[in-house]
Structure 1
């Protein structure tokens, strides 16, 4: 059956990255408004695609055929569990579908995202073709200007890993990955005619619903429903600079991973207690 003869699914919106581009706020906005959105679209976040995310992150590290085959397998399993999407659409938001965030020794860039997303798109097309449908997949990638992204990515690595380099060293090393425009062009060519839609954080963050707004446009949520949605303040905001500096100092001083993580957790817990007024 050719694609012009097949019935299309409702829009299947896959928001697959990038990290540190307002994704936490976007996902919480979708989650908190799930009940109102349910008649129009199925909202799925990272916890719904854990096996697939595990595979995409694995491929971003190992970059070998076996790891990519696992992505294909997990993508087939994911789509096999999905409904026909004849009456409502899908918003799947999980930045780890692009793989790990660059900056670690074994993850220098986002290039594995191209293969990861090609496998996910192809799996969707296979699944719906079997039921006589054309999968109306649209890939959304949220972006951010290079310098703010590099700073945010660095301090996230400081918080969650044992990174010891300075911010300036990190910027020098990772800056090529901060310009995602060439990669998005390659991705668009790799999965054409499936559209790749870049959304700049700086353009959308001032709107009441932020980056959720264009996703809701793409999936066709009507204005009368949009007017009832509850906007949320920014999530996952950066820790104060003195706390971040202490975390980096702990990374440099404590070589044992378990002991380091305990010390860092205690520091962040103390900061949270201070905010709570305890």
Structure 2
């Protein structure tokens, strides 16, 4: 029996939260057709991938390999359903944090995952790494917003984006991953092109899984999540981050502003 595995390993701010929310919302309908594993099923693994992205050494890569092997070894071999893993943290920390400009560690992480999967399920395993992507400017703006609201980032968007001028593109990273994980497959889909699909960014994933017995029309579609409100909140957060207020006060102010924005944003 050939096992089909799809690993949705990134990238951040490309609709991944929306995908995972819909997988949770539709868990009962999907369960007869696919084995779905989200971040809470392999937290040790994502902790190790984030650590490796900050400190790419033999020791931290060995931890990624160890957690990958442990995860796959817990999955039954005699279950005919395909396997889906989904967590953007498999690609490491989001660029813009901790001095990271891109996913430079992702290729070796995916190689460790592919080695563990092939070891467990055999060389004939149908393994695909899937990455949701986004065009450059909207992606940078979205990562800026995420960092702005979650950290004490003090750069305006232009200053923030300038630091990525020499960074490798997401397409460059995908080409590197494809070389590292061969004979596994690597594919991607632009968030902008998924917007009008019936199930939004979840649609390309289900297509890869080839769930012929699943009636997609029965699945619940959720609205996009983690979207930046178009209310000028970014300017407020930037001012808070640049202020001398204590961290706990800044976080509380952000919480209140976000609550107000959710109430006002249509």
Which interval holds the TM-score relative to the shorter structure?
over 0.9
2:56 and 2:12 mapped to 1: Cα distance?
19
Tell me, yes or no, if the aligned pair for 1:140 and 1:196 is still in contact at 8 Å. Answer: yes
- Match among 59, 78, 90 for residue 83 of structure 2: 90
1:182 and 1:104 mapped to 2: Cα distance?
20
**Equivalent residues in 2 for 1:263-274, closer than 5 Å:** 263-272=253-262, 274=263
Aligned to 1:70: 63
**Residues 52, 224 of structure 1: alpha-carbon distance in 2 compared, 3 angstrom cutoff:** closer
Which deviates more from structure 2 when the two are superposed, residues 183-192 or residues 204-213? 204-213
Question: How many equivalent pairs are there?
Answer: 265
Tell me, yes or no, if the aligned pair for 2:22 and 2:221 is still in contact at 8 Å. Answer: yes
TM-score between both structures, scaled by the size of structure 1: 0.89
Which deviates more from structure 2 when the two are superposed, residues 206-215 or residues 145-154? 206-215
Aligned to 2:2: 8
Tell me, yes or no, if the aligned pair for 1:146 and 1:175 is still in contact at 8 Å. Answer: no
1:89 and 1:173 mapped to 2: Cα distance?
40
Instruction: Say what the alpha-carbon RMSD is for the aligned residues.
Output: 1.9
Aligned to 1:207: 197
- CA drift of 1:176 comes to 4.4
- Match among 235, 238, 248 for residue 248 of structure 1: 238
TM-score between both structures, scaled by the size of structure 2: 0.92
Q: Give yes or no for the alignment of 1:197 onto 2:190.
A: no
- CA drift of 1:67 comes to 1.2
Structure 1 gaps of 5+ residues are 1-6
- Secondary structure of 1:254's counterpart equals coil
Aligned to 1:3: none
**Residues 63, 90 of structure 1: alpha-carbon distance in 2 compared, 3 angstrom cutoff:** same
Aligned to 2:220: 230
Aligned to 2:99: 106
Q: Give yes or no for the alignment of 1:125 onto 2:118.
A: yes
Structure 2 gaps of 5+ residues are none
Q: Give yes or no for the alignment of 1:150 onto 2:143.
A: no
**Residues 76, 207 of structure 1: alpha-carbon distance in 2 compared, 3 angstrom cutoff:** same
**Residues 255, 69 of structure 1: alpha-carbon distance in 2 compared, 3 angstrom cutoff:** farther
- Match among 160, 169, 174 for residue 184 of structure 1: 174
Q: Give yes or no for the alignment of 1:55 onto 2:45.
A: no
